[in-house]
């Protein structure tokens, strides 16, 4: 690998991320490092093994075999508590993320908007929602609370809700810039944000490693856990000036491991997180589950088997394997530390074995069912990136006409 380009920014980044000493590792695929070198990203983020091609696992003699049905182009299974990556395949491979990118949107914008603020959505707010996008049913000229819109994002994967929230956050352009900064603060250097909602856009990519990092940051927030765990809700057709709903309709979470589907049972202990699909990205899924005092994360990107619900079955298999492999495998890497959350001294709250209990605790403490909390800490991501240069704002995305959810 060349070392002349971006040398100064790499040195500065290495001063922050101690131990990333494999800059010249011949096993690291070029696609995992080219973009990062231009932006001060240390090589082999999470450890050198994660940059190697193919399946990475370090079993003991007593360890269970990895599931045989794994056809995803990239996947990761990790311990959310310790940050250890238990096994992976092409963890840093950059692929279109589809709506799993909404997890980055959430960890970026949740702290910025008070949940009970009421906004009248305009035609301009919804003008750039891509053709074929999933929608929850946000209507121009109608008013919604921030909490309404977050339910639309997490349950219905509504791109219309994302655009309304981005408008409340200043603009879509501002929100995308904030998401890029938040990705850098997390160490999600494989991620390039072009559309905040995950809609297919030229150059927009993430990786199984990055999506796992982002989901782990989300689990540190009770409001994120609350929305990601919610299976069913009522969405308003609009609200009056006093906040009362004009009417409501039922919405259901599109994460099939959370709600179940024909031939696919609800996964015991599932906390939720986010699924996605576009015709370009294929199926993508990030899930978290807790059993026996451990919380695991599994990310699967674009299964190739062609079988029905493959992304859910493969994520389920990885979670099952991860719980059985506890204490029987050595880590193949680690999840990068969230510097912004550490600097803001965000308090991690425990998540119980039963997702309903997790939501109940979060509700009692800070997230009432119908009144999620106001923003309680401010992201300082931009100030914590040492040696990184500002990412160039990419051109306005072109509609690709893909189906998306």
C-alpha to C-alpha distances, 401 to 42, 200, 278, nearest whole angstrom: 36, 9, 10
φ/ψ region of 132 (left if φ > 0, alpha if ψ in -120 to 50, else beta) reads: left
- List, in order, residues 6 or more apart from 195 with CB less than 8 Å away: 101, 130, 176, 201, 204, 397
How far, in whole angstroms, is CA 311 from its chain's centroid? 16
Q: Do 299 and 98 form a contact (C-beta atoms < 8 A)?
A: no
Which residue, 166, 184, 185, 186, is CA-closest to 176? 166
Separation CA 263–CA 314 (nearest Å): 14
Q: Which H or E run includes 144?
A: strand 143-145
- Active-site position among 20, 51, 99, 207: 99
Q: Which two tokens stand for residue 195?
A: 């559309």
- Active-site position among 156, 157, 185, 207: 157
Three-class DSSP labels, 68-90: CCCCEEEEEEEECCCCEEEEEEC
Separation CA 203–CA 293 (nearest Å): 39
- Decide if 157 is catalytic: yes
- Active-site position among 51, 74, 89, 102: 102
How far, in whole angstroms, is CA 295 from its chain's centroid? 16
* Count of Cβ atoms closer than 10 Å to residue 377 Cβ: 15
- Decide if 102 is catalytic: yes
Separation CA 11–CA 386 (nearest Å): 10
Catalytic residues: 99, 102, 157
């Amino acid at each position: 690998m060349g070392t002349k380009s971006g040398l100064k920014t790499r040195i500065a980044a290495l001063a922050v991320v101690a131990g990333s000493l494999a800059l010249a590792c011949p096993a690291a695929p070029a696609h995992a490092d080219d973009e990062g070198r231009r932006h001060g990203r240390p090589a082999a983020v999470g450890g050198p093994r994660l940059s190697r091609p193919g399946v990475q696992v370090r079993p003991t003699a007593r360890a269970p075999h990895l599931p045989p049905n794994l056809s995803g182009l990239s996947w990761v299974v990790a311990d959310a508590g310790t940050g250890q990556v238990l096994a992976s395949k092409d963890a840093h491979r950059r692929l279109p993320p589809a709506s799993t990118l909404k997890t980055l949107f959430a960890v970026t914008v949740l702290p910025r908007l008070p949940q009970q603020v009421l906004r009248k959505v305009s035609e301009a707010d919804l003008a750039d929602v891509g053709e074929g996008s999933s929608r929850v049913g946000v209507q121009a000229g109608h008013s919604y609370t921030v909490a309404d819109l977050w339910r639309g994002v997490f349950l219905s994967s509504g791109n219309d809700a994302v655009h309304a929230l981005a408008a409340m956050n200043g603009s879509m352009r501002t929100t995308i810039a904030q998401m890029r900064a938040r990705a850098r603060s997390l160490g999600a250097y494989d991620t390039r944000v072009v559309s905040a909602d995950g809609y297919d856009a030229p150059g927009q990519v993430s990786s199984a490693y990055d999506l796992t990092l982002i989901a782990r940051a989300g689990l540190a927030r009770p409001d994120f856990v609350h929305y990601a765990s919610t299976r069913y809700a009522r969405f308003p057709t609009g609200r009056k000036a006093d906040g009362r709903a004009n009417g409501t309709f039922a919405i259901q979470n599109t994460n099939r491991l959370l709600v179940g589907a024909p031939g696919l049972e609800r996964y015991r202990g599932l906390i939720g997180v986010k699924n996605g699909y576009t015709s370009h990205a294929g199926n993508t899924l990030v899930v978290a589950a807790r059993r026996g005092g451990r919380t695991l994360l599994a990310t699967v990107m674009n299964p190739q088997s062609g079988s029905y619900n493959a992304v859910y079955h493969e994520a389920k298999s990885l979670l099952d394997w991860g719980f059985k492999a506890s204490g029987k495998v050595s880590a193949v890497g680690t999840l990068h530390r969230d510097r912004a959350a550490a600097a803001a001294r965000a308090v991690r709250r425990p998540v119980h074995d039963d997702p309903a209990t997790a939501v109940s605790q979060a509700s009692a403490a800070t997230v009432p069912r119908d009144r999620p909390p106001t923003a309680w800490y401010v992201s300082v991501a931009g100030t914590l990136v040492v040696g990184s240069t500002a990412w160039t704002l990419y051109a306005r995305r072109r509609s690709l006409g893909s189906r998306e959810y």
